[in-house]
Structure 1
Amino acid sequence: MTTYETFARVYDSIMEDSLYDQWTDFSLRHFPKTKNAKLLELACGTGIQSIRFKQAGFDVTGLDLSDEMLNLARKRAQSAHLDIPFIQGNMLDLSPVGIFDMVTCYSDSICYMEDEVDVGDVFAQIYAHLNDGGVFIFDVHSTYQTDEVFPGYAYHENAEDFAMVWDSYEDEAPHSVVHELTFFIQDEDGRFTRFDEVHEERTYELLTYDVLLEQAGFKTVKVYADFEDKEPTATSKRWFFLCEK
């Protein structure tokens, strides 16, 4: 798994605000109508989504593997005059975080797990840290996205103080991809330094996710696609799972 050590510097610049709007809208449509509900946002990154949930009235805690991401999240929450605990931790071990009414894990963060064993362990951890009737919502890349869209994908960003080259390739495991990222980041002296990162993602067939969720204890699972309340199709790019304990 990546720590996003350099990625954090430019992460917000390359993420579209409209994605956060869509994650927020989808969540609010499917969250239980519980007052002062406790919400855990896994892989919270720089805190933008956590702040959206806090402003919507939830008692939010954010968890992420990257200290650098969390430092940005804390500064962002402080600037917004919001009290949001941000915890450095691994979603494979949620013992430090307590029990929640809702858990989210967006931006295909589950796809960064090494294999389906780890995915199943994450699901079990989340189930154990949900109240009865609690809801877990997450999204992943579809197999169409990893197999047909990503291989050969290239994205280039050229801003005033940084430049980025992002290329994606098919990996060896089924439904897996490698993202190779090169950053050129300007320092205070005006010089640009090069950083390289490799991000590996893997997804699975819908049936695999269903089995892993059932093994974790989830009995009610609904699947949607591409931020809409519709069933996945052969060309859906992002799958959403709504799971109830």
Structure 2
Amino acid sequence: MNEQYGALAQLYDDLMYDAPYEDWSQYIIAQLCASGVEPGADLLEYACGTGNVTLPLAKAGYHVTAVDASEEMLFCAQEKTRKNALRVNYVCEDMCRFRLNRPACAAVCACDGVNYLLTDAELRRFFEQTYANLQEDGIFLFDISSAYKLENILGNEFYYDDGEDKTYFWQNRFDSERKTVTMELTFFTRQDGDIYERRDEIHVQRAWKSAEIEAMLCDTGFANIKVHGFLTGDEPCAQEERIQFQAVKKGKNNE
């Protein structure tokens, strides 16, 4: 459904080799358990990608429904799930439109899924759908790449990696008026002998401020909003690169 990750899906794990997925997933599990969402509960994961957070959640015993808009990314996640003899319900759908048949105990969105929402209307629609997909007192955990990171670290930078079988070029442009970073990626992958296939993708992410996220969460009905630095319980610093959010769907215990 989503062509953005058609080429990137096969290279995604190579590009993200240094991401701390084990610590990331254990942090999420700890936050869920601290909020009373124990293994065995129904869990909704948005923008699951190739399943690097999905699999640890399933291994921990959660009943995971994992949503992503890219068929190619989901194919990679399904292969990992099969090889690990796990069970996950994968769905190819826009996370702003997906609706569960039965509300979940918690929802998770890790690694920039929210950054791909470029307008206030898209952010509101996603939060409204998440609210509808949660039980009363359900927990919503997600993170974003910070505005600082997109503007000062990724923005207007060029990256490349020249491997034996795979080569990529990655050019970024930050638009201060639109608060977006446009990422132009070109991949060359060896096919047969000295023949390489070229594929190009363009990704755009929004530099959301924490205050904007918090205000939209409140507007869509969430309560008990907490904001932390990445994998910590501390208040985010000015140069925080990734920011964690936690919110609760209003119910009988938090009206």
Calculate the TM-score normalised by the size of structure 1. 0.94
2:46 is the counterpart of 1:42? yes
Gaps of 5+ in 2: 250-255
User: Which one-letter code corresponds to 1:14 in the other structure?
Assistant: L
Matches of 2:156 and 2:207, distance apart in 1: 18
Q: CA deviation at 1:207?
A: 1.5
Which aligned pairs between 1:15-164 and structure 2 lie closer than 5 A? 15-16=16-17, 18-31=19-32, 32-33=35-36, 34-96=38-100, 98-164=102-168
Aligned residues: 245
Matches of 1:111 and 1:195, distance apart in 2: 23
Matches of 1:2 and 1:229, distance apart in 2: 36
Q: Bigger CA drift: 24-33 or 44-53?
A: 24-33
8 Å CA contact 2:4, 2:202 repeated in 1: no
Alignment equivalent of 2:231, drawn from 220, 227, 244: 227
Matches of 2:192 and 2:11, distance apart in 1: 16
8 Å CA contact 2:98, 2:129 repeated in 1: yes
Q: CA deviation at 1:157?
A: 2.0
Matches of 2:98 and 2:165, distance apart in 1: 37
8 Å CA contact 2:172, 2:181 repeated in 1: yes
Gaps of 5+ in 1: none
Q: CA deviation at 1:155?
A: 2.4
- Aligned equivalent of 2:252: none
- Aligned equivalent of 2:14: 13
Change (3 A) 1:97 1:14: farther
Matches of 2:140 and 2:127, distance apart in 1: 9
8 Å CA contact 2:39, 2:60 repeated in 1: no
Q: Residues 121-179 of structure 1, C-alpha deviation per residue, up to 9 Å, x if partnerless?
A: 10110011111111111111212112222223232223332111112221253431111
User: Which one-letter code corresponds to 1:128 in the other structure?
Assistant: A
8 Å CA contact 2:4, 2:201 repeated in 1: no
Calculate the TM-score normalised by the size of structure 2. 0.90
What's the RMSD between the two structures over aligned residues? 1.7
Matches of 2:211 and 2:156, distance apart in 1: 27
Q: Bigger CA drift: 115-124 or 97-106?
A: 97-106
% identity of equivalent residues: 29
- Aligned equivalent of 1:182: 186
8 Å CA contact 1:187, 1:193 repeated in 2: yes
- Aligned equivalent of 1:208: 212
8 Å CA contact 1:37, 1:58 repeated in 2: yes
Matches of 2:210 and 2:220, distance apart in 1: 16
Matches of 1:150 and 1:236, distance apart in 2: 13
Matches of 2:183 and 2:219, distance apart in 1: 31
Q: Bigger CA drift: 39-48 or 182-191?
A: 182-191
